[in-house]
């Protein structure tokens, strides 16, 4: 028992957990950087909303991200073999970057983190695709309502369509398409190159089939979580609209539409949208140092696990 080599179970065969002094330093430095930004830059932008309403909005938005973390954790355990707590901490550690970085660059940070923790870039992409697919199940109806009421931003429409079609194509249609491609290669070609292509197609088919199995098996739970996420998002907008008497003619869905396409790097945002953006940014920044420290602590000592599908031999019907 004394010969047990713990390092071989750690990411990339090395690393160790952060000790308490290092975690305290990391958290202290994080708050030393964030609190001046919150107090000097962001808080002055939320003056149009009362403190009570601001706290309610921040709490609801934080709950929506707690639900997003749970959804990502549920997928990561089955597909990547990552601990649920580590995946949830990673979500909170990377969530502010999605707001602060331009062009949704925070998604690349999430992908990189999942890739490095699982050592499987393809499975990491699959997890993010499934995650966005369940978002699109509720984003598409919202988009339809907005379009019927007078139109929706092109960027929102493009994002919603891509978020729905790409994962659905990969998860729902992908296994069948790849199976047919295998049959075509076997029936039409007989050379070394064809064998190499066939093995690559088969490996991809197995990945997509396993991902489709996870999506179907967890569909009901992920749909409920996604519904609650978007319910919180809508309630955030309802509270903000009701807290500003001058904007009584603006609907909550209109504000949601504006929030989804507005970032700190965009131009032309009105004062009320900027207020909403500031509140949501503050709600993610305040817990960030603690969650980032927890993530780096768990990442440093997280053991390698086989995904649930691999442990059960991934018995799926194609």
pLDDT in tens, 128-139: 988 988 988 888
The pTM of the full predicted model, rounded to 2 decimals, is 0.83
Closest CA to 131 of 73, 84, 172: 73
Distance, in Å, from the CA atom of 105 to the CA atom of 162, rounded to the nearest integer, reads 16
Token pair 């995946």 is at which residue?
87
Report, as an integer, the average pLDDT of 251-270: 74
Distance, in Å, from the CA atom of 30 to the CA atom of 32, rounded to the nearest integer, reads 5
pLDDT (0 to 100) of residue 225: 96
- Quick check: 92 and 65 in contact, CB under 8 A? yes
pLDDT (0 to 100) of residue 254: 77
pLDDT (0 to 100) of residue 245: 55
pLDDT (0 to 100) of residue 1: 38
pLDDT (0 to 100) of residue 304: 63
Report, as an integer, the average pLDDT of 225-251: 81
> Per-residue pLDDT tens for 156-171?
677 777 777 877 777 7
Give the orientation angle of helix 271-285 with respect to helix 51-79, to 10 degrees: 60
19 DSSP 8-state letter = P
* Band of pLDDT at residue 288, cut at 50, 70 and 90: very high
Closest CA to 30 of 281, 287, 283: 287
Residue 76 reports pLDDT greater than 70 = yes
> Per-residue pLDDT tens for 55-75?
999 999 999 999 999 999 999
Residue with more model confidence, 98 or 222: 222
pLDDT (0 to 100) of residue 152: 62
Percent of the chain residues topping a pLDDT of 70: 82
Closest CA to 125 of 136, 110, 104: 110
245 DSSP 8-state letter = G
What own/partner pairs with CB < 8 Å and gap ≥ 24 does 39-43 have? 42/278, 42/281, 42/282, 42/285, 43/278, 43/282
Residue 13 reports pLDDT greater than 50 = no
Residue with more model confidence, 114 or 252: 114
Q: Average per-residue pLDDT in the chain? A: 80
Report, as an integer, the average pLDDT of 219-239: 92
Count CB atoms within 10 A of the CB of residue 121.
Answer: 13
- Quick check: 67 and 225 in contact, CB under 8 A? yes
Distance, in Å, from the CA atom of 119 to the CA atom of 116, rounded to the nearest integer, reads 5
Residue with more model confidence, 89 or 153: 89
Closest CA to 117 of 91, 88, 84, 82: 82
> Per-residue pLDDT tens for 22-56?
888 889 999 999 999 898 888 888 877 888 888 99
Helix (H) or strand (E) holding 26: helix 20-37
Report, as an integer, the average pLDDT of 175-191: 80
């Amino acid at each position: 028992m004394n010969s047990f080599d713990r390092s071989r179970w750690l990411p990339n065969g090395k690393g160790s957990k952060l000790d308490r002094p290092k975690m305290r330093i990391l958290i202290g430095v994080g708050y030393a950087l964030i609190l001046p930004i919150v107090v000097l830059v962001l808080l002055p932008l939320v003056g149009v909303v009362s403190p009570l309403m601001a706290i309610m909005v921040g709490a609801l938005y934080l709950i929506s991200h707690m639900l997003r973390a749970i959804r990502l954790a549920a997928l990561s355990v089955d597909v990547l073999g990552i601990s649920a707590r580590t995946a949830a901490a990673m979500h909170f550690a990377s969530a502010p970057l999605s707001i602060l970085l331009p062009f949704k660059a925070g998604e690349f940070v999430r992908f990189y983190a999942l890739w490095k923790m699982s050592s499987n870039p393809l499975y990491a992409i699959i997890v993010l695709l499934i995650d966005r697919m369940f978002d699109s199940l509720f984003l598409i109806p919202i988009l339809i309502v907005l379009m019927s009421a007078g139109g929706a931003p092109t960027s929102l429409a493009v994002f919603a369509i891509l978020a729905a079609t790409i994962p659905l194509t990969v998860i729902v249609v992908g296994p069948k398409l790849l199976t047919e491609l295998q049959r075509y290669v076997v029936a039409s070609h007989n050379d070394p190159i064809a064998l190499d292509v066939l093995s690559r197609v088969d490996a991809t088919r197995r990945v997509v089939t396993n991902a489709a199995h996870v999506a179907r098996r967890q569909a009901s739970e992920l749909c409920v979580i996604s519904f609650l996420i978007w319910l919180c998002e809508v309630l955030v907008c309802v509270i903000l609209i009701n807290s500003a008497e001058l904007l009584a003619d603006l609907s909550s869905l209109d504000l949601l539409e504006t929030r989804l396409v507005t970032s700190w790097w965009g131009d032309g945002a009105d004062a009320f949208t900027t207020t909403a953006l500031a509140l949501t940014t503050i709600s993610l920044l305040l817990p960030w140092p603690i969650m980032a420290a927890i993530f780096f602590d768990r990442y440093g000592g997280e053991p390698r696990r086989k995904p649930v599908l691999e442990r059960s031999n991934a018995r799926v019907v194609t």
